[in-house]
Structures are given as C-alpha cells and as structure tokens.
Chains A and B, each alone.
Chain A
Amino acid sequence: MNNKEFITKLAKRCKLSPAEAASNVEGLVAAITEGLKENDQFNISGFGVIEVKMRKERLSVNPKTGQRFLVPPKVVPAFRPSNKLKDKFNG
C-alpha cells in the first residue's frame, strides 16, 4: 500500500476529501517529527512506540577496498511494535 492508496482509503474512512486527508496526514507527520526532534516518545496503544535512538560512533571497513572508516554518532528514528500488533501477525 503506497502513500496514494493509503490517503484515499483514509479519506473514505474519515469521510474527508483526499486533499483534506492528505493535509491531515502531513500535519500528523509534522507533529510526530517535531516530537521526535525533541527526543519525545510516542506510545500509541495497540500500535507501538515511535521514538528516537542514539547510535554510537563505530569503525567500519569497506570490504571491497579494505578502507576503514570512523562512522560518527547519530540519532535515528525507530519504531517498536506493540506486543498486541506482533501477536496479530504471528497468529
């Protein structure tokens, strides 16, 4: 299901026009992004946790050339599904 299909289905379900649904989705994504930038954690029951994680710096080797790189630390967004959701897919 790509973005377009997702928005049309969402519009139908919420009885909104596709344009409205699209702007609403945009707003929701913006809200989540703002929250993640603030190191916030979204705990949505029945779905899971959207959060950010720290990755430490590490040494990596290019297997082709053998070059070694020091990869800097970074922050990445992550999703952790709830147990309920996991159970749903694993019957």
Chain B
Amino acid sequence: MDAKLNHSDLSALLAKELNISNTKSEQFTKAFFDLIIEGLATDGIVKINGLGTFKVTDVASRGSVDVNTGAKIEIKGHKKLSFVPAESLKDEVNRPFAMFEPVEVDDTYQDEEPVNEVVDETIVSVEQPSVPVDEIEEEIPVEETVLPVEQPSVPVEEIEEEMPAEETVLPVEQPSVPVEEIEEEMPVEDTVLPVEHSSAPVEEIEEEMPVEETVLPVEQPSVPVEKVEEEVPVEDNDIADTVLADAATVPTPEKVVVESADDIKEHTKETKPAEPVAVKVAKNQPIEEKPKEKGGKKWLVIVVLFIAVVLIIGNRLISGDTGQVSDQASSAEVNAVSSDNRSANETKTPETVDVQEEIVPEVIEEVYTFEMVDELASRNVRSITVADTLHYVSAGEWHVHKVAEDETLVKIANKYYGDKRLWPYLAKYNNLANPNGLSKNMEIVVPMLKARRQ
C-alpha cells in the first residue's frame, strides 16, 4: 500500500510469483527493462501484452516568449516517451471507481415547463371564484329592487325629478299603511327640499354604489311597517317631547335615526373600507328606521353586516356596468336624503347635517383608493393569464428558418411569434435533443400555432 518499490523489490515479488530464485528474477527484470529501452531506441515503440505500449514521440519545435525579457525564443523539438496502459491494466487499477459512468448534464432545459404549469393552476383558481360572484350579484338586486320601492314611493310627490323609475316597481303589499304616514309627513318634507342642495355632492358619490342602497330596505319592509304604527306613539312620549306638535309619528324615528346613523358610520369605517357606506347608511337609515326603532339594535347589526357584504359585491360591479341600477338607486338616494333633511329640519339640529357633510369627503377618498386597489388586483390576474403559453397546438409547417450565427430558439420564437416564451414549441416540433445547441445554417421549421381552447 502506497509503497515505493525499487528494482529489487519488484524482482522479489516476481521470484515469489514464479517460484524462482531471487537472482534469476533479478536478471530477468533487468533484461526486461533493458530490452524495452533497446526496443524504443531501435523501433521507437514497444508493445507488451497486459502492460501497455511504450512509445517515443516527436515534439515539434515551437515558438515562445522569454518570461523575463519578453523576447521571442524558440523551444527546440525533442523526443518524448509516452506510455499507454493496456485496457486490462486500466480496468484492474480503476476497479474501485468502475461503477461510475459519465452522466449527461441537462440543467437548462427542464426549468421552463414546470413554471408554465404553475401559471395554469393559478389561472384556474382565479377564474372560478369570479363566476359565483357574478351570479350572486345578479340574484340579489332582483329581490331588492322590488321591495325598496315602497318607501321611495312615499316622497314621490315632493321630489318630481327621479320619480318615474321607482313608480314602475310600486309595491302592492302595503300601500295602505304608508299612505297614512305619508300624509302626516308631507308638510314636513315640503320644507326640506331646499336643504337637499347641501347634500348634493353626496348624491354623486352614491351613484356609484347603487346596489347597497337598494338592498337595505329589503330586510325590514314587511315586518316593520306594522310596528311603526304601534310603536311610534310610545316613543313620542319618551324622546320627541318638543316635536309633538308636528307629526306625531314622524319626528321620533328621525331623531333616533340621526344618532344611530352616526354610530353606524363609525362602525363601518372601522371594520371595512366601506367608503360610501357611511353616507348611505345615514341616508338609508331614516327610511329603515321607521320600521326599526325598537327592534333597532338587532336590525342595525344585521343591516351593517349586510351592507358590508353587498359593498364588496358592489365594488366589483362598479368596474362593470351599473347603469340601470344606478338610476333607481340615485332616485332612492335623493328620497333618502330628503327624508334625512326632513329630520334635520324638524328636530332643528343643524349639527347632524354638518356631520354628514364632513364625512362625505373622507368617504370619497376611501372609495377611490379601494377601487384602484381592486383594479390593480384584477390587472395582475389578467397579466398572469395572458402569460399562459400552454394553450397552443402546433399545426403544420409555417416557415423554414435558417439559423444565423448566434441565434437561439428564443430569438427565433420572438421573431415569428412575437413571444420568446414560445420557444419550446420550436424545440418540440423540430425534435431538437438539445435546444441550446443550434448550429449555423441549421434549418428550423417554424410551426403554426393554434389555440388549444377557444
């Protein structure tokens, strides 16, 4: 092991192997190596079975440079002794490493496809959720649009502009009940009209979010209407002492409304990017509150939750088309505003109006930022979906491209398809074992690509 053996050691080994005397083996080995040298001198080559080939080769003279002076010098040609081991000797010596074999290294090509697959999955997941949302959006408004009309119909006479839209949907159920209230309220509302201008900006904002406002009334209309009649008088005693003279039923709810509306504004702001919700809540409240009042707190919670849900849905709708709904909605809002103002006038508390106006600008900002975020998100989703390169099938020959120098499949794909990511189609169509190894003047067939899905 790792021993340095000299001539005599080798002859000793040989003597042991052949069972001959040391002197004899020593003579033999000496003759052996001497003959090799002799043979090299005469023939220049000596072949020995099982050991290998000794050979004398010529090394041609070559030019070089003197390292110190930089002058050109010539290295003269000389003879060189080379040894090529026999296969059997090589195999024997290399036995410990015999199980290793050259492995082809293929590190560039494999990365591409997994990436595309991932993209594909993400697209699918993104698309699916969006579908149900649309369905929900379609279903909800249908129910809502019918019911809410009941209340807007009340102020119809006072506000002439937006009337038509709502009237078409007029509810058949409770016309009798509200009518009485309306009559009582009428005088009060007349005074309200001028105040609407102060809240004008609010209406503009609300046009964007039609869905939510129409939604609110949906929940309470049937139950509350009856309640209103019974409960109103009781509350008059408690709260609206001063207002008794006016309309007995009307005033109390509105006071309550103003307070609760403010509360709701705070809640909605904290919990969600509710944007316009706050304003709308304030305006919707008066309408709803007539029914609510005593069962109020429960309803408030439910309403707030419902608004939040509808808002999220509504935001998606905003980007799309909301034209029809917005008409009704805006009219409904106007009504709401008027009724709200009503309350303000009746109770003669200008502060409430101010509160609403102050909130409006903040709300607007929130609306826009939220929409932008939404848009960005949707854009990202789209950009990913466009990146999909798996949706093509190569269909027939299109061009035959002669590879120029330094050209790659990526460049060719970019030239013909305008998308460098489509290069795998070239590699596959041409059965290129090694897509990196294009040679000059090689002919690449560029296939037509057809979309796999519509």
A residues adjacent to B (C-beta < 8 A): 1-3, 5-6, 9-10, 13-14, 23-48, 52, 59-60, 65-79, 81, 85-86, 88-90
Contact = CB atoms under 8 A, between A and B. Distances in A.
B452 interface: no
B6 A65 contact: no
7 contacts: A28-B28, A35-B10, A41-B3, A46-B33, A47-B37, A75-B96, A76-B90
B46 A6 contact: yes
B103 A85 contact: no
Contacts of B33: 44, 46-47
Contacts of A45: 6-7
A54 B154 CA distance: 101
| For the complex of A and B, 9 pairs with smallest distance between CB atoms | A72-B100, A66-B437, A79-B83, A1-B39, A81-B81, A29-B50, A89-B79, A77-B85, A68-B105
A39 B1 contact: yes
B85 A76 contact: yes
**A-side binding surface: helix, strand, loop or mixed?**
mixed
Could you say which interface size class chain B belongs to?
35 or more
B31 interface: yes
Contact of A9 (B4, B28, B35): B35
Contacts of A47: 33, 36-37
Contacts of A1: 39, 42-43, 45-47
A66 B92 CA distance: 32
Interface in B100-148: 100-106
Contact of B92 (A24, A33, A40, A74): A33
B160 interface: no
A35 B13 contact: yes
B89 interface: yes
Given A59-B105, A65-B437, 13 more contacts: A1-B43, A10-B31, A13-B35, A28-B10, A32-B51, A33-B50, A37-B92, A39-B2, A40-B4, A52-B93, A65-B433, A68-B104, A89-B41
Contacts of A9: 35, 39
Contact of B32 (A3, A10, A59): A10
Contacts of B103: 69-70, 72
Interface in B47-103: 47-52, 54, 56, 78-79, 81, 83, 85, 89-90, 92-97, 100-103
Contacts of B48: 3, 6, 25, 29
Contact of B100 (A40, A74, A77): A74
A28 B17 CA distance: 8
A8 to B, nearest CB: 11
B14 interface: yes
B111 to A, nearest CB: 16
A71 B102 contact: yes
Given A26-B50, A31-B10, A41-B4, A14 B93 contact: no
